[in-house]
Amino acid sequence: MNVNSKGRVIYLTELLSNAQRLPSFNWNYSFFGSHLQDVKQGWYYPKEIHTVFEVIYVQKGIEKIEYDSISYLIHEGEFTVISPNTSHRCKALTDLRYFTFHFDLDDPSLEELLIGNPKLVYKKNDPTSSEITARMDKMILSLDNKADNFDFSDRIEIQIQLSLIISDLYNSIKKININVNLYNVQYAKRIRYNIKQEMLSLVNQADHSKPFQSTDIIHKVCNELNLSIGYASKIFRESYSMSPKAYLSRVKQQIAQNLLLKPQYSISDISSLLGYKNAGNFSRQFKIWTGYSPTQFRSKDANYFLDKKLFSENFITYNDDPTNDVYRSFDN
């Protein structure tokens, strides 16, 4: 509110009544586990599951991707996008050069669109594929003679290419008319999407004077979808091998880690944003999640978090014995 020379009150909306506005957003990117590798025929990577998207791009040779129920091949110049919480393993059918990276962007509408994408493989002659593979080739060029000595400008260039890749994927999927039939798997995806969206909405609220419970979020999501808590938990567990409450805990963990990398947020602020009654409760839960207190985590080098800790926390890799799928962490 302002007052002009004649004493008339002028409101901000009036001052900006003719303004053309760009959208506001506060996104958090995750990009990690990126590497280029040459492997021999017969090389394989054991079954794994992770909570982020994975892109696999074949520069030379043929790679086989196996899900629990289907398998498909990626040839030279092609790539695939693997959705979160999808159990898969990889095998080189010929001598192979592949490039891969893992990413997450906390925009629920993008996540829903990518998860619902029916395309398994982006073929070499597809116009969208050519644009995206060209961007990945630029990422690969940044590996030359770096020996992990990436500075700020290198990271910004990688983020620019990642943003353009995500934009290309988003625009290509928007053109596809996907007729979604909400059977159990689709209901599970909708529950997952709504839980994350509701949590982000609560974090972005201006008033955090009242703590909220995880059960409040899950009840609201189930009511919106007209599902009972029991049935929602059953179909969610069938699709993701975890309960909605466990998934919500992962979402909170991801948000907490992202906020701890931003110095403008105190630990007390983050505790309040995530709905905890006090910072002590949040600190205890964070140590359960990561093995570190929030203070210890914040004091650690951010590159360590992005390149190693984040990988470990987002991935579950199984041993190769199909009768003994025991969880094995990245650090073991």
Quickly state the pLDDT bin for 6 (edges 50, 70, 90). low
pLDDT, residue 15, reads 75
Range among 9-18, 38-47, 242-251, 316-325 rated most confident: 38-47
Quick check: 162 pLDDT over 90?
yes
**Higher-scoring residue by pLDDT: 115, 305:** 115
Quickly state the pLDDT bin for 56 (edges 50, 70, 90). very high
Least confident segment among 54-63, 84-93, 184-193: 184-193
pLDDT, residue 9, reads 53
pLDDT, residue 236, reads 86
| Mean confidence (pLDDT) of the chain | 80
Can you tell me the mean pLDDT for 265-270? 89
Burial of 199 (0-12, 13-18, 19+ CB in 10 A): buried
Quick check: 180 pLDDT over 50?
no
Can you tell me the mean pLDDT for 262-279? 87
Instruction: Starting at the earlier edge strand, list the strands of the sheet with 327-328.
Output: 71-75, 62-67, 88-92, 44-50, 315-318, 327-328
Range among 42-46, 85-89, 225-229 rated most confident: 42-46
